[in-house]
Amino acid sequence: MLNRIFGLETEYGLLVHQDRPDHSPTWFAHKIRDHLFQVRRRGVLDLHHRGHDEPPGNGGFLTNAGRIYLDMGHLEYASPECHSLTDAVATDRAGDAILQQAIEEAGLADHVSLIKNNVDHETDATFGSHENYLVSRRFPFTRRGLGPLVTFLVTRQIFTGSGRVGAARPQDAWIQMDRLIVPRAATGQGPGGPHLPFQISQRADHIVNDFFEWVQQNRAIVNTRDEPLADPNQYRRIHLLLGDSNMAEYATALKLGTTGLVLQLIEDGTAPRDLDIVEPVEALQDISQDQDRRWLVQLHSGKTISAIDIQEQFLEAAERRYRGQDEETDWVLQQWRSVLQDLRGDYERLVGRVDWASKLWLLESFREAEKLDWSDPMLKSLDLEYHNLHPGKGLYYGLMEEGRVPRLITDKAIALATEHPPRNTRAFGRGELVRHLLACGSPPEAEHSKPDERYFPSYVINWSIFQLRGQAPFPMPDPFRTYVQEVRDHLSLA
């Protein structure tokens, strides 16, 4: 799409198949990482500290220029930079395939399942699906400028949510009010933790701010951290952590594509106005929890309006400005309108395209067949199985086998994306670097290194720069450039 770089970060759950397991999910996560990097050599491990919680060896870059690492005990996959929705979907699915294949190759498939969801029903913990969008540094990153984005994000869950059984307990978190940071409980805000049969979003209950910089325990609709991972004079990275992990390729593409177009509307100063929501966080949770699926929100203007009506206003603005812009934009506009029309009718029309609808249909079918109440624990188990990445066990893959799931990409494209990066972003150059380092063999062990080598590893790789020992740093500040020939020339001197 025009002037846009996309990226996804996915944290995975690991479900251990024992009532009293010998090993923790974190133990299995370490085994899977070690198999990928040390046995299969799918990439190169970091040799440097990336932060206080990322020591050397915690993770590394892959040959497809994405990253796999451990975050708070979870396996996490960050896709390479993508300039198209098809590449974004392919590289997202590639992360699933890489990790699932590692589980099977390492002989762990009988012991643990990889779950691409966002909630732990037992502990009430949440783990994220983060979205990244490159915008110009001129983007109006202020509360007023971001107002349309907040409204859009609060309401887009009607087609991007993955759905869940039940609700999370009230979140113990801190929020910003004026210039003070106060406990959320002191404001009287937040979900009351009612028993709910089903809601459309997994992350909504865990979002406690409209804007906030840090992510742990203060998850916001818009994360305000300024970390462009590119030339900071030209670019800003919009980092979102309110969304659900999607199994459906259609939902992933629509989530990224519609958000990209709304960012473009904001950049051009043509986003719909007068749609500011009175309490965005509460509206986010109310929409998710609305059992009647009316999805009403109150605006500062005093008007009450449905999430579908709000989405249609953004759609119509994008249609006026961007129809004919490129093939992917036209696909997004067409499917955006189609899904909103279908949301006004029977939700079963959305099975295969929208994850919450697919999951609800499966759960309702099972409930009716087995005469179960929504409180039956079996439904939470089926909730998890929808996200199981084992093709023979996951309920989403069952829908795919039945022909109920529209495909945007092929299995061949996913297999290609597990090994190779997109060829039209700087990921291409980084992939060349990783392949070069793998061909050169593993670096010497620290105990056998010379004293000066212990302080400067043989390579350091970050998203926008790398350095080989003995050579000058090689910056890659423009994500739209491949740098592939420059990287090859640089490596020929090594």
Residues designated catalytic = 71
How far apart (Å, rounded) are the C-alpha atoms in residues 157 and 244? 9
How far apart (Å, rounded) are the C-alpha atoms in residues 224 and 217? 15
3-class secondary-structure state, position 491: helix
**Counting beta carbons within 10 angstroms of the beta carbon of residue 113, is it exposed (0 to 12), middle (13 to 18) or buried (19 or more)?**
buried
CA angle, 41 then 43 then 46, to 5°: 115
User: For the chain, what is the HEC assignment?
Assistant: CCCCCEEEEEEEEEEECCCCCCCCHHHHHHHHHHHHHHHCCCEEECCCCCECCECCCCEEEECCCCEEEEECCEEEEECCCECCHHHHHHHHHHHHHHHHHHHHHCCCCCCEEEECCCECCCCCCECCEEEEEEEECCCCCCHHHHHHHHHHHHHHHHHHCCCEECCCCCCCCEEEECCEEEEHHHHCCCCCCCCCCEECCCCHHHCCEEEECCCCCCCEEEECCCCCCCCCCCEEEEEECCCCCCCCHHHHHHHHHHHHHHHHHHHHCCCCCCCCECCHHHHHHHHHHCCCCCCEEEECCCCEEEHHHHHHHHHHHHHHHHCCCCHHHHHHHHHHHHHHHHHCCCHHHHCCCCHHHHHHHHHHHHHHHHCCCCCCHHHHHHHHHHCECCCCCCHHHHHHHCCCCCCCCCHHHHHHHHHCCCCCCCHHHHHHHHHHHHHHCCCCCHHHCCHHHHHCCCEEECCCEEEECCCCCEECCCCCCCCHHHHHHHHHCC
Counting Cα atoms < 13 Å in the Cβ hemisphere of 238 gives 28
